[in-house]
Structure 1
Amino acid sequence: MFNTQFADNELVDWAIGQRRHFHMYPELSGQEYETAARVKSLLEEFGIPLLDGFSAPNVIGYFKGTEGKRTIALRADMDALPIVEEGEDRPYLSTVPGVMHGCGHDGHTATLLAAAKWMSQNPELVKNNIILIFQSSEEASPSGAQQLMKEGVLDKADVIYGIHYMSNMPLGQVGFEEGYAMASSDDFDIIIEGKGGHGGNPHETIDPIYISTHLIQAFQSIVSRNLNPLKSGVISVGGIYGGDSYNVIPDKVTLKGTIRALTFEGAKTMIEKTEQLTKSICEGFGAKGHFTLIEGTPPLYNHPEACKTAEKIIRKTFGDDLFTPIEAVFGAEDFSYYLKEKTGAFVNIGMQGPKSQYPHHHPKFDLDEAAMPAGIELMIKFALEG
């Protein structure tokens, strides 16, 4: 399906073997110590030095190019999810109860390792310096990418590339959205502190349930009246908690929700307005509104210059028919922390088909390994030509 120059059958088979091992022994965010140990061992076997000064269990390798005029960073995420895996037809099911690779990170890690293996076998072809980032905690907050950026992982990099195998994109397609490609993701807790009382005497209370309905309605005005309609956002309340009786108005109500935007400015506006409306509306009813932001990830912005390079590589490598422009989505990805500070691009590789028909984070999710030759080839080409 994919015409590859460097990802031959032997290298792909090796990568698939590594991927299945990681799938069988998944580790949650921040706990990827055995995964990291295997990655370190393989990089050392390849003769690729490890960089110090970065928090465990992140692993950072450094390949020195023959010329070293340019430094390319390549990233893979390593963490799994707290999901009970379902399915009996695969010999590599998770052996860890309640934990599975339900997002393809096992494939990302194996893919970057395969690219590292190829570089170690063909050092004379690699002119650029390569930073190999095996990152912890993509699925968690605080984010592993955010932590690595604080530690200076890209201080000497000129550009960064990452890939993601996608179950909602047909196998055989490769592409991305230039510019804002994925949304920010911030969560919030709101406590409405009112005054409880008998349901038959509401005039003696400050009803937090009633007040919560005004908040939920008002939040939608932030999207419709404060954001540019061409740069959309979403505020969704996913939980309302308060009261457990037919005829008692509670003292407090808690709301839980998410704020997502496709621009940095939109995310800032939505967070500020949500907090302002919470306090002002509650005060207007004589209640107290307590807003707590749970910071997530910023919008993912694919830089045009890196996208042009990536598109050129994809078209030249796989043909014009396989390159697929993609519309922006409101999913989130902590690769955005890298792109907030450094030029780069995040590329999607399709794998949707009979072997990968379930969405990411589903108990029956599986990665179609037929997509891995494309991922390996791209990582190598990014190292050589990025």
Structure 2
Amino acid sequence: MSLTEKLFKKLEEKEDRMIEIRRHLHENPELSFKEEKTARYIADFYKDKDVKVTEKIEGENGIVVEINGKNKGKTIGLRADFDALPITEETDVPFKSKNDGVMHACGHDGHTAYLLTLGEALIELKDEWDGTIKLIHQHAEEVPPGGAKSIVASGILDDLDEVYGIHLFPMFETGEVGLVEGNAMAGRSNFNLHIQGSGGHGAMPETTIDPIVAGSHFVTQVQTIVSRRMSPKHTAVVSVTAFEAPGGQNVIQDKVMLRGTVRYMEEENKEPIHDEMVKIISGLETAFGVTCDLEYIYDYPVLYNDPEKTRVVGEILRNSKGGHITNVADHEPSSGSEDFSYYLQNTPGTFINVGAKPEGVEKAYINHHPKFDINEDSLLISAKVLGEVVLSRLGNK
């Protein structure tokens, strides 16, 4: 029996427990940067195991577990995130969230369950493989600046040769694995714009400086950044997602606040989009006599999958004999964002999409929906996918 077959057998034997772990985490979700109990649960899982566990990295909730094989070799990182979202769950599962207004609506409970189980199986086989594996249990993927940034900044991953991660997506069929070479997920920035005018009576607008009109012009003009100020060969999105101007029908408000998000598939567009927005805002101040205060937050970078590593991973998975993969597909880049991009800035690797469509549904609820759910068969698939990749890349047959 090959080492990969031994690993697969162990994972199959542990599948029921892996599902139990996922359901426990699903019932007990915690928000980004507040995952104290989840972090404790993860650290306790590795107690009495022959590994090195580093907790509270940079004073936050991230955990890195180092497993050393029989002999020296490559060092490879495997990452799973474990934070939840501020969403009230609307599923009918018996292991529904016990924390009001908090839900694992992005699959991070599943990510953690398969990596814990894979880690345990790799530890049990550590005398049969060479190299070092670092399991990155990461907090706060959902909220900027993101947990990955502090883990990378700590230097604990400076010795990595390669890094890999998986994300579960119920919009893809269970058994499908998706890969994207190069720019795979968008870079992200967020903004808040405060526009100060001078309010007054709705029947006498000439006595006011109307910030609502100025804000309305901003909403339309900001769309020209993509349509008229960027190359049509590039992909970007600028969305105003909130326009706050509460008040009565006969009162022109003296201030408004707009919020929004910016996405871009080429890192080179990160600063130019901001600069163009500043020009538009300067024009608003001149044209309407308002005062503007822009808070612009540069967030996660573009997620760049190393093309060579991605092709190699595709070859490994297409040649897999495990029977757990029905299709290895070339997926389109996504306008979503992921702080796994920070790991890939320092270390070559790839981020793998794994299908998790629930059984018997025609159209699944997407990530971040209050009715989001996954097919739990995807947990074993994910563990096998990442396990086969890491053993192969470490040179263990």
Q: How high is the TM-score relative to the length of structure 1? A: 0.93
- Deviations along 1:309-351, one digit per CA (max 9) or x if unpaired, are 2112211226896101111111111111212232121000001
8 Å CA contact 1:167, 1:358 repeated in 2: yes
- Tell me the CA shift for residue 296 of structure 1: 2.6
Residue of structure 2 equivalent to 1:205 = 208
Deviations 1:230-286 (A, max 9, x none): 221111111112252333322212111111111111222212211232123223332
In 2, Cα distance between equivalents of 1:92 and 1:247: 50
1:81 counterpart letter in structure 2: L
Indicate the residue corresponding to 1:190 in structure 2.
Answer: 193
Answering whether residue 387 of structure 2 is matched by residue 380 of structure 1, we say: yes
Partner residue in 2 for 1:350: 355
* Partner-residue secondary structure (3-state), 1:44: coil
1:357-372 alignment, distance < 5 Å: 357-372=364-379
Q: Secondary structure at the match of 2:286?
A: helix
Q: Hey, what does 1:256 align to over in structure 2?
A: 259
Contact 2:32 2:141 in 1 (8 A): yes
For the structure 1 residues 364 and 231, does the alpha-carbon distance in structure 2 shift closer, same or farther, using more than 3 Å as the test? Answer: same
Secondary structure of the equivalent of 1:224? Answer: helix
Post-superposition offset of 1:45: 3.3
Matches within 5 A, 1:290-329: 290-317=293-320, 322-329=327-334
- Whether contact under 8 Å (2:191, 2:261) holds in the other structure is yes
Q: How many residues in Structure 1 have an aligned counterpart in Structure 2?
A: 382
> For 2:248, which of 232, 245, 253 is the aligned residue?
245
1:141–1:355 distance in 2 versus 1, CA, 3 Å? farther
Match status 1:331 vs 2:336: yes
2 CA distance for matches of 1:287 and 1:82? Answer: 35
1-side partners of 2:212 and 2:102: how far apart?
Answer: 37
Which letter maps to 1:370?
Answer: D
Secondary structure (helix, strand or coil) at the match of 2:214 reads helix
Equivalent position SS for 2:331: coil
Moved more, 349-358 or 57-66: 349-358
Counterpart of 1:359 in 2: which secondary structure? coil
Alpha-carbon contact 1:355-1:368 (below 8 Å) kept: no
- SS of residue in 2 equivalent to 1:365: coil
Equivalent position amino acid for 1:82 in 2: P
**Contact 1:259–1:271 (8 Å) recurs in 2:** no
For residue 383 of structure 1, what is the amino acid of its counterpart? Answer: V
Cα deviation 1:208-228 (Å, max 9, x = unaligned): 111122212221111012222
Percent of residue pairs identical:
36
**What are the equivalent positions in structure 2 for 1:59-138 lying under 5 Å apart?**
59-88=63-92, 90-138=93-141
Measure, in 2, the Cα distance between the counterparts of 1:342 and 1:352. 31
In the superposition, the TM-score normalised over structure 2's length comes to: 0.90
After superposition, the C-alpha distances for 1:171-224 in whole angstroms (9 at most, x for unaligned) are 121012111111122211111122223334433332211112221222111101
The aligned counterpart of 2:179 is 176
Gaps of 5+ in 1: none
Check whether the contact 1:279–1:288 (CA below 8 A) recurs between aligned residues: no
Deviation for aligned residue 1:56 = 3.4
State the distance in 2 between where 1:355 and 1:97 align: 28
Are 2:165 and 1:162 aligned? Answer: yes
Counterpart Cα distance in 2 of 1:126 and 1:34: 32
Paired AA for residue 67 in structure 1 = N
CA RMSD of aligned residues (A): 2.0
- Which of 265, 276, 281 lines up with 1:278 in the alignment? 281
Separation (CA, whole Å) in 2 of partners of 1:224 and 1:304: 30
Of residues 111-120 and 263-272 in structure 1, the stretch that sits farther from structure 2 once superposed is 263-272
Per the alignment, residue 228 of structure 1 pairs with: 231
DSSP 3-state at the match of 2:52: coil
How far apart in 1 are the matches of 2:65 and 2:356?
Answer: 28
Give CA-to-partner distance per residue, 1:348-385, whole Å, 9 cap, x none: 00011336722212222222111122211122123212
8 Å CA contact retained: 1:43, 1:116: no
Give, in angstroms, the shift of residue 113 of structure 1: 0.9
Using a 3 Å threshold, how does the CA distance of structure 1 residues 84 and 265 change in structure 2: closer, same or farther? same
Deviations 1:31-67 (A, max 9, x none): 2222222211222233221136713321110011233
Given the superposition, is the C-alpha separation of residues 38 and 250 from structure 1 closer, same or farther in structure 2, using an over 3 Å criterion? Answer: closer
How far off its partner does 1:297 sit?
1.5
Unaligned ranges ≥5, structure 2: none
- d(CA) in 2 for partners of 1:19, 1:53: 22
- State how far apart, in whole Å, the 2-side matches of 1:325 and 1:374 are: 18
- Is it true that 1:57 corresponds to 2:61 in the alignment? yes
Contact in 1 for aligned 2:56/2:62 (Cα 8 Å): no
